[in-house]
Every structure is written in structure tokens, then in C-alpha cells.
Amino acid sequence: MTLAIGIDIGGTGIKGAVIDLDAGDIVGDRIKHPTPEGGEPDDIIATVAQLVGELGTEGVEHIGVCFPAVVVNGRTMSAANVSERWIGLDADTAFGEALGRDIHFVNDADAAGYAEAMSGAARGQRGLVIMTTLGTGIGSALINDGVLIANSELGHLVLNGRDAESWAANSAREREELSFAEWAERLTEYYRYVEALLWPELFVIGGGISKQHNEFIPLIDVRTPIVPAELRNNAGIIGAAALAQRFSR
């Protein structure tokens, strides 16, 4: 059994667990703490260190951390719902020093998409899989034959003169009080645009709203098959751990 720790940092919560990488599943309990108010790097790093201590590292070979930002060579190049001090931060080094070992830092949507490709809804799928998370914005992950193409940011494609996520994310549905049928019309336009650019073999839809997939996925009219994510809120944790193993130094 190959064990790793996966940590998923969000705007409101930080959750983590020990992962059995051979099975692609959680071992024991998942632990969650509130994200410190203000989202400052030092405070979040301290919370992650506390969480890892609670999980324990005996037998753990790798630690992976995912975060809502573009991540390039372990450095966070953007920040969503956290302090702007994250922009340009060498997160790999900062977390590694706090935890006393090498870690791997990755975008949260990329981690979730990778997990779905390895042990979730896209398991065994050849060709290009595109996972989108529909929430406050639209996160995205591209996996081609099992290889992650990082930092795709497809929520920022410009449609109708503005970022697609500003009118097609679940937050837009809630804000404008759209019916699922009305929202599906927007999603159809969005996914048609994405498939015209990239011609994927499969779309996977994640985010909390995916629990209600029967209400809107059948209404999205595109060529590409669309399925709901299977791993739900554990996808980021599992994917972060799996990518830490893949990119271990």
C-alpha cells in the first residue's frame, strides 16, 4: 500500500486525508479546518501543518497540496478568495519548509480532474478529458491519455463579450434565479464553444451542483458525452496526493 497525504485548500475550508494511492481512496478520516480569515499565506501554512500533524505521517511517502490558483513550477501566480500575497509566492518551498519535507503544489481544478481520470468518472478514458467545476466560477482540467495539461483556466474564455464563468457558473444561476432549463441553455453555448476548440472525448462536471446532475446535464445539447464527477469533495485531496507521487523528486 502506497500512502500519501492530500490537502485541499479552499476559500472557506482546508481539508485533508491520507490516501491509498494504489486504491485511489481515502484511508481513515478526512479532517477539515476553517480557512483562516484573510487567507494570508503564513496563517494557511500553519493550519495545513496542524492538519498534517493530526493526520500523522507514519508510512506516508508523499504530500500534495492543491489551491485555487494558477501554479507554475510550484509558485502561485494568482489568488482566488485569499490574500493577494499569494501571487508570486514560492508555495512549494514555503510549505516544504513548514512541513519538513518536499511537497507538490498544484491547482485545485487540475487535482480534481486528475483524480477523476485516475479513479473516478473518467477512469480508463482514452483521448482528451475535460473536467469543469461549476461553482462560484468555472474551474477546468485537461487530461490527455492520463497526462495532465496544467492551468487551462477555461472559465475565462470570452463569450458574449465577458468571461464565460460570469454568466455560466453556478453562481450566475443562483444570482439571476435561473431555472435549470435556462441555465442549461447557457451551458450548452459554453460547452459547444469548448468542444469546437478542443474536441474532447468526454466532459466531466464537478462542483457541489453536480449532486443535482439529473436536473441539468441531460438538458445540455452537445456532441461530447457529459458525465457527473464521482469523487465529489474528495477529488482534490485524492488528485493532489496522486500528483505528489507522480512528480516526486
Query: Is 119 inside a domain boundary?
Result: no
Q: Is the pLDDT of residue 81 over 80?
A: no
pTM of the predicted structure, to 2 decimals? 0.92
Tell whether 152 and 58 lie within a shared domain: no
Q: Which CATH number belongs to the domain containing residue 172 in this structure?
A: 3.30.420.40
The amino acid occupying position 83 is S
Amino acid at 73: N
Phi, psi (degrees; rounded to nearest 5) at 180:
-60, -35
Same domain, 153 and 136: yes
Q: How far apart are CA 29 and CA 18, in angstroms?
A: 8
User: What is the Cα–Cα distance from 190 to 177, expressed in whole angstroms?
Assistant: 19
Do 226 and 130 lie in one domain? The reply is yes
Per the document, the length of the chain is: 249
User: In terms of residue numbers, what domain contains 147?
Assistant: 124-230
| For residue 41, pLDDT beyond 70 | yes
Q: In this structure, are residues 228 and 217 in contact, taking their beta carbons and an 8 Å threshold?
A: yes
Residue 117, domain member (yes or no)? no
Q: What is the pLDDT of residue 233?
A: 84
> Are both 129 and 88 inside the same structural domain?
no
Mean of the per-residue pLDDT values of the chain: 94
Cell (9 digits) for 27: 484511508
**pLDDT, tens digit, for every residue of 89-123?**
999 999 999 999 999 999 999 999 999 999 999 99
- pLDDT for position 246: 87
Each residue's pLDDT tens digit, 126-183 = 999 999 999 989 999 999 999 999 999 999 999 989 999 999 999 999 999 999 999 9
Per-residue confidence (pLDDT) for residue 79, from 0 to 100: 83
Same domain for 68 and 42: yes
Q: Read off the pLDDT of each residue in 4-30 and give the average, rounded to a whole number.
A: 93
Cell 451551458 identifies what position? 187
* Identity at 19, one-letter amino acid code: I
Q: Which residues pair with 88 in a beta bridge?
A: none
User: Which pLDDT score is estimated for 248?
Assistant: 76
Say which residue the cell 496522486 belongs to: 242
Same domain? For 13 and 28 the reply is yes
In this model, does residue 249 exceed pLDDT 60? no
Q: How far is CA 213 from CA 41, 79, 189, 229, in A?
A: 35, 29, 18, 9
What span, in angstroms and rounded, lies between the C-alpha atoms of 232 and 195?
Answer: 24
